[in-house]
Chains A and B, each alone.
Chain A
Amino acid sequence: MSHDATAGDRPHTDTAGTQQTGMRDVPFRGGGFVHRPLGPVAPIVFLVILAIWELGSRSGFISPIALPAPSAAFAALVDLFQTGMLWKHLGASLYRLLLGWSLGSLLGIAVGLAVGLFSLARAGLLPLVSALFPVPKIALLPLFIIWFGIGEGSKVATILFGTFFPTVIATYAGVDNVDRNLIRMGQSFGLSWLSIVRKIIVPGAMPAILSGFRISASIAIVLLVAAEMIGAEFGVGAYILMAGALFALDQLIAGVALLSLLGLCIAWAIGKLEKRLLAWRM
């Protein structure tokens, strides 16, 4: 109403000078707010930053004590590769990561399904999960060392617990979100309980489980490095810690680049998995 009143008061005075009466285009007001895919932008941005960084280091603007040049970090990486230590560190890290993450995810999916399907499991386990999820698992590492030993056990356990809780939550939320009508349809055709779970609930919860994987994989990498920094001979985390202790910043940057690459590879793998398992959604 107020719009009408103000507009009606002086309808012509503002535009009187430019009033048009002939045939003209309807002014275009749409467009925007939509993203276009711009393929090569990401690598270009990355390369430009590296180039500026390298130039800054070469010209002496960036002190090598504060930040080594990318070429120095790359040289450290090459050195790591040539001495054969790369595989030793990376192998140890990958072993812990894969074992911890897959065990944690499997257990998490199992418990998440139970919480999603059974009232008793939901009533009994959900408060426990909610209470333990926010505890930083790295704080429990001393406990894990006592329980599982200083070796691989405590590191794997840290990653396992870190990935377990987010997977439980993603899985049971996914089960809760399965279309009730599809379940009712299964019941109306006399499908067995197991068939309904296997053919309707699990595939229906799959999108949520896979996005849970993305989160749990990142958490796993963070915990891996933290656990390796506390007590490990080999592993990317140990390598970074050693480099930091010696102020070998080029090696430190090389180690961080390794971690970043690892994260990218995992994200890519999960993306592939999503494409395969969720092809029906495209």
Chain B
Amino acid sequence: MQLILQNITHRYGGSTVLDDISLTVDDGEIVCIVGPSGCGKSTLLRIAGGLEKPGGGKALLSGPTPEGSLNPLTYIFQDFALLPWRTVEGNVSLVLEDHGIARSERTGIIADVLARTNLSDFAKALPRQLSGGMKQRVAIARALAVKPAIMLMDEPLSALDSQTRELLMDDLVALWTRERFSACYVTHNLNEAVRLGRRIIVLSRRPGRIRDIVEIDMPLAERVERLPELESLQRRVWEIMREEAREADREITDVA
């Protein structure tokens, strides 16, 4: 399944946040969106997943929904968005309960996704007992439970410390190698972008426009070995962004 954004334009109050953005997320492809803070990356992702209506332009899906997918467009949130009053398995169960799945089948799915994210030992734990990295793993397990066609990831590693981020990045690469999910991955961290992205879309500061697109052909699994090459790519992306980021930093914001 493909996700196509056509000429997305959006404004909050008087100011334009997104200006004529078009992009496509192909099957099995991770597209990273980077940009200075306040450039409307998260708004773009909310529009892509149908949580917000764009002021102009269209968010489209093309191709058949993969069989068994309960929620084709599935988010991973920066703050994990786990219910604090539910255990790990309860949080995964939450997103299955509205689909009329038999209890036995549900427990099967929960056990399966927890095993795939190495969380089986934590099934009965409450979110407050888990570290940030574990919480995000639970959120990933929850997303896997509904068999998404496209994952919409909103700064999924930004709330984690750099070591945990490194570990989770490895997990994501392993997961992608196994399951070839497609994803739209919003981040402000260029290192994550060059490690995970097949394409990197660089947005300008507000109003967000597509400034440049960087394609990376290197297979995901090889990237951890070829960090120096990525380093130079990362520098290239930074060169594109630098002025924008500097200007964005000096702006007075009036929109949350």
Contact = CB atoms under 8 A, between A and B. Distances in A.
Interface string A109-139: 0000000000000000000000000000000
Interface residues of B, number: 22
A199 B86 CA distance: 10
Contacts of B85: 203, 280
B146 A189 contact: yes
Contact of B83 (A182, A187, A281): A182
A188 interface: yes
> Interface on chain B toward A: helix, strand, loop, or mixed SS?
loop
Contacts of A189: 71, 74, 94-95, 142, 146
B84 A280 contact: yes
A7 B130 CA distance: 48
B71 A200 contact: no
Interface in B195-230: none
B83 A200 contact: yes
B126 interface: yes
Interface string A179-197: 1011011111111100100
A177 B194 CA distance: 38
Given A203-B83, A203-B85, A281-B84, A184 B51 contact: yes
A191 B94 contact: yes
Nearest to B90: A199
B122 interface: no
A281 to B, nearest CB: 7
A236 B84 CA distance: 43
A188 B52 CA distance: 11
B98 A185 contact: no
Given A203-B83, A280-B126, A187 B51 contact: yes
Nearest to B143: A189
Interface residues of A, number: 18
Contacts of A186: 94
Contacts of B23: none
Interface in B87-132: 94-95, 97-98, 126, 128
A195 B97 CA distance: 9
Given A181-B77, A184-B81, A203-B85, A190 B98 contact: yes
Interface in B62-90: 70-71, 73-75, 77, 79, 81, 83-86
Nearest to B84: A280
Contacts of A199: 83, 94, 97
A215 B86 CA distance: 28
B155 to A, nearest CB: 13
Contacts of A181: 77, 79, 81
Interface in B32-60: 49, 51
A192 B81 contact: no
A195 B75 CA distance: 18
B77 to A, nearest CB: 6
Contacts of A179: 81
Interface string B9-51: 0000000000000000000000000000000000000000101
A185 B71 CA distance: 12
8 contacts: A184-B51, A185-B75, A186-B94, A188-B49, A189-B95, A190-B70, A191-B98, A280-B128
Interface of B: 49, 51, 70-71, 73-75, 77, 79, 81, 83-86, 94-95, 97-98, 126, 128, 142, 146
